[in-house]
Amino acid sequence: MTNRTMAEARPAQEAANEAGNATTGPLSPAIVLLFAVACGLSVANIYSAQPLLDTMAQDLGITPAAIGIVVTLTQIGLAVGLMLIVPLGDLWDRRRLIVGQVMLSAVALTVVGMAPNAIVLFIGMALVGLLAVVIQVIVAYAATLATPAERGQTIGTIQSGVVSGILLARFASGALADIGGWRLVYLTSAVLMLVMAALLARALPRRQPQPLAGSSYAKLLRSTAALVVQEPVLRERAVFALLIFASFSAFWSSVVLPLASPPLSLSHTTIGMLGIAGLAGALAARNSGRLADRGWAQRTTGLSLMLMLAGWIPIACLHSSLWLVLAGVVMIDFAVQAVHVTNQSLIVATRPDASSRLIGAYMVFYSIGSGLGAIGSTIVYAAAGWLGVCVLGAAISACALLYWVVVVSKTPMPAGVCSVSSP
């Protein structure tokens, strides 16, 4: 099936999906909550390694310089999965794809937890990252099942689970490691993923949105790249994803450096409490999906970007007041998640039949932004200290706000988005 044929078939496909939603009705709160918990557990598998790197290195005889590859391999696996696995949601039965990924995640976590040497550990961590993209498959699946009037709210609720998993993973993994070592963290996660696979298999709706018929995997991947060219909303929101997560990552990747160093010299447990503050802001942003459903996506984006830029002011006061830093963390995490939820709600609304490919393409830019922010902030910190990191983060946030003012705020919303989002 060519891209032109796929485009011609789009109205019929969308009609079939909407008809399915009308037949099934809105997603129940219980299933949405299950989706959110599944995503939280999946994303925690990526970030739980960060506080365990030193004990992993000691146990397996890996040098401190080399153990950092654990995080790198996980992120590489994640990026590969975004490009190669997530689009399959538009081709295969999403229910089976989700349950299968969760079960395989349990296997990968078991491999990590029982790794006898560094090679097996590295392979297992790459597989953990690869299979963690079940998060994006779930988001796309839920967005397709939800009624158009509740799509943004549904995505916002699921995204709150993702954020909870990110921000609580470090704390939970550290606590489990104190009880039974780093291997207990991964073996416990494997058990939880098996339980989640059973719950998802039992609870997910049997009715499926009609998968893309008459296409092959290669054509599916080509069409994913074509969507970036064809859909202006995807391009605009992908730029936002790159910028906001570069700024977000610049903070979280480097804040441990000044906090753990003199004169503050805070413990890792105390530093981890910052995640609790960030969690409060991120969970508050879940309602931004409702605003998108009501046609306020542009205003939500603009106000959130202003808040994100302003959040770097109190964060710059790290050496004078940790309370100000906490306030800045809440501001930035709220803003990032509000824009992220709005972005996903809008891009899925443009092409419900291509939700998996849209989310996969969008998240590639998220991954790039996160990586650039992490690398850039550590380089800047070495050269200019914490104030330099704050200038970098604020500059990236300012670029995002300027892009919204000059380009996005003046671009009319596509008809499909307006029909979904209007009050």
Length of the chain (residues):
423
DSSP state of 50: G
Place of tokens 């850039």: 376
3-state SS, residue 181: coil
Instruction: Assess contact for 96 and 134: CB atoms under 8 A.
Output: no
Q: Tell me, letter by letter, the H, E, C secondary structure of 126-164.
A: HHHHHHCCHHHHHHHHHHHHCCHHHHHHHHHHHHHHHHH
- pLDDT tens track for 89-109: 888 888 899 999 999 999 999
- pLDDT tens track for 186-211: 999 999 999 999 999 998 876 555 55
- Across 272-289, b (16+ Cβ under 10 Å) vs e yields bebbebbbebbbebbbbb
Across 347-369, average pLDDT: 84
Instruction: Assess contact for 369 and 237: CB atoms under 8 A.
Output: no
- pLDDT tens track for 302-345: 999 999 999 999 999 998 888 999 999 889 988 988 898 888 88
98 or 407, which is more confident: 98
3-state SS, residue 237: helix
Sorted by where each begins, the domain ranges of the chain are 3-421
Distance between CA atoms of residues 392 and 399, nearest Å: 11
The first and second tokens of residue 131, run together, are 């299979």
Mean pLDDT, all residues of the chain? 81
Distance between CA atoms of residues 284 and 189, nearest Å: 27
Per-residue pLDDT, 64: 64
Element (H, E) at 295: none
Residue type, 244: I
Distance between CA atoms of residues 381 and 255, nearest Å: 10
Per-residue pLDDT, 272: 64
Distance between CA atoms of residues 250 and 336, nearest Å: 13
Non-local CB neighbours of 5 within 8 Å, separated by 6+ positions: none
Distance between CA atoms of residues 227 and 125, nearest Å: 31
How large is the angle between the packed helices 322-350 and 151-180, nearest 10 degrees? 130
Exposure on the CB side of residue 2, measured as CA atoms within 13 A: 3
Distance between CA atoms of residues 216 and 392, nearest Å: 43
pLDDT interval class at 371 (50, 70, 90): confident
Element (H, E) at 1: none
Per-residue pLDDT, 17: 43
3-state SS, residue 146: coil
The first and second tokens of residue 26, run together, are 């809105």
Select the CATH number that applies to the domain covering 3-421 from these four: 1.20.1250.20, 3.40.50.10860, 3.30.420.40, 3.40.120.10: 1.20.1250.20
Across 355-364, average pLDDT: 86
Place of tokens 């609870």: 203
